[in-house]
Amino acid sequence: MADRTFIPQINNAGQDQPALIWDPRLDQRNAVLTEYQPRPGTTWYKLIHAEWRDVEQSHGLHHILVDVLDEWGVRLTGVPVRFVNGGEFIAFTEPKPGEEAAVSFGMFAVGCAYSVEVAYASDRVSCLGLGTIDDPDHALHTSYYFVFQRTTQGPQDG
């Protein structure tokens, strides 16, 4: 099977709304994107990349991996990321040079057990968990990779 890792393509120069790259396998895993509804002039974090990684692609990991970028595509550090699984856990992004994600959170439950968002105004992805498309009820080591980018909502059209 070919490696289907998705690489975020960031077009950042002055864009109010970065384009979303959404791995279609997330729909098969029942992941749900709740888009933040910003007011004009609001700075917020938009999901620009969402990817599910199968057992082979995860290389033994069972994590939600998150990167948070500024308007120009540079990794931000010290940004709180909220993970929810019954309770709530806040982790802060770190520099982590050479690593693809600024923060990670281990998963141990199957099905729709987890959600993730930047702890400020942000899009949210929910209904995340272990398991595969063909075997969603077993704790097979799969993972997710999300990239949020800070943006400022421009004036509304109309």
144's CB contacts (< 8 A; 6+ apart) are: 31, 50, 51, 52, 53, 63, 64, 65, 116, 125, 128
Region 84-102: what's the mean pLDDT? 96
The 3-class secondary structure across 79-102, one letter per residue, is CEEEEEECEEEEEECCCCCCCCCC
Paired strand residues for 150: 45
Task: Report the phi/psi class of residue 60: left, alpha or beta, with left for phi > 0 and alpha for psi in -120 to 50.
Answer: left
Sign of CA dihedral 48, 126, 133, 139: positive
Choose the CATH number for 21-152 among 3.20.20.80, 3.40.47.10, 2.60.40.10, 3.90.1330.10: 2.60.40.10
* Residue-range domain boundaries for the chain: 21-152
Average pLDDT rounded to a whole number, residues 55-80: 97
Q: Is residue 5 classed exposed, middle or buried when 0-12, 13-18 and 19+ CB atoms within 10 A define those classes?
A: exposed
pLDDT of residue 77: 97
Tell me what pLDDT residue 156 has.
Answer: 65
CA distance 61 to 64: 9
What is the per-residue pLDDT across 18-29, written as a single tens digit (0 to 9) for each? 789 999 999 999
| Residue type (1 letter), 65 | L
| Inter-residue contact 58 to 143 (CB < 8 Å) | yes
- pLDDT at 16 (0 to 100): 52
In tens, the pLDDT along 38-54 reads 999 899 999 999 999 99
